[in-house]
Structure 1
């Protein structure tokens, strides 16, 4: 029984063909295509307004150089949000519960911000490794600590997203299993457990949205340090 709880995190296969690529590409087919008409329908208007508001809030602390990342960060936010939300539906697979996928997104984007800082502002980028006014004896130790904290950033991004989604999915499945087991034995307790499951599902929806936003927000903060 304990192993079956983790079956939901296994990459789906059909006739030996992995379907994770289909799960990753599915969200893009669900969004309406922008129209060339002067007036859009309500769904397109709401979609455009949401993307514009998010992009404005995200790029507010960045300078003009960082605004080149607007399309990339907005697309990443929509992508992660869609995968997280679709993964809450029954009989679906959540690609963002895979650490390999999250690290595959986090490492290249974090590395791009570091390379931009080293290329455009090398003195400022290297200055983060040593705070001003540091005593001479602490300089080697602080450089090592700051270097480790810099290198661990993409790992923290990927692990944070994976751990939050995995824990939420496991908790939902555990409480749902408890509800089915308790239903013939203690119906009252089963009803209370089902109510708790409903509240937990609402919380998991909020977590799916917040974690996608936090992932992109931290990337924007890393970008802010290097532009």
Structure 2
């Protein structure tokens, strides 16, 4: 029986227990916890520097009202990066290749930004549905289009993250399979394919980090419109 390449994206189950829950909970154990000492080690200093720099860069274009989201957005960024990076290890599972998990992250956060806008400044929030200076006959059509674009945002967030990670993982498996098959037939070509596989793995590491950053960055843009 020939297995499908897409079987790697199925949520693994052991004794009836979905292992996706363990994969989601594992990253929090890997990060060192700050201590109450006056001085920290190099790893804690590097972690603190990265979190501070990222938080400053992320909140730079946001008004003061959105700075309350700093802890949530930074935690989400680190969480997504860790999940994406751990999924590149052999014999592991990437939860963010599941659309349901990504939509479960994107939809509540997007809905929270919309509710904040409707509560704090309803006129400004509803004003996004109709651009200024729109001709009269186009008003109903533009309102419908802008409403659809508003409700499609969480779907776009989830699909973007899922599609990029799924495509990268699938391409790595295809090239690795080709390298293994060509090893006995054409060793020179197999070595060249292995070099391409190594470069693609480096690219996938960058994609795993960039897609997590893009996910959080788009959420900050949605938040900026409503605070």
Alignment match, 2:117 = 117
**CA displacement 1:28-77 (0-9 Å, x = unmatched):** 00000111111000000000000000000000011111000000000000
Superposed CA RMSD: 0.9
Which consecutive unaligned segments of at least 5 residues does structure 1 have? Answer: none
CA distance in 1, matches of 2:27, 2:2: 31
Alignment match, 1:63 = 63
Q: CA deviation at 1:147?
A: 0.5
Q: Secondary structure at the match of 2:184?
A: coil
CA distance in 1, matches of 2:80, 2:3: 27
Alignment match, 2:47 = 47
**CA displacement 1:165-214 (0-9 Å, x = unmatched):** 00000000000000000000000000000000000000000000000000
Alignment match, 1:169 = 169
CA distance in 1, matches of 2:144, 2:217: 26
Alignment match, 2:201 = 201
Q: CA deviation at 1:4?
A: 2.6
Which consecutive unaligned segments of at least 5 residues does structure 2 have? Answer: none
CA distance in 1, matches of 2:63, 2:39: 32
CA distance in 1, matches of 2:203, 2:220: 25
Query: Segments of 4+ in structure 1 off by > 6 A?
Result: none
CA distance in 1, matches of 2:133, 2:220: 28
Q: Secondary structure at the match of 2:185?
A: coil
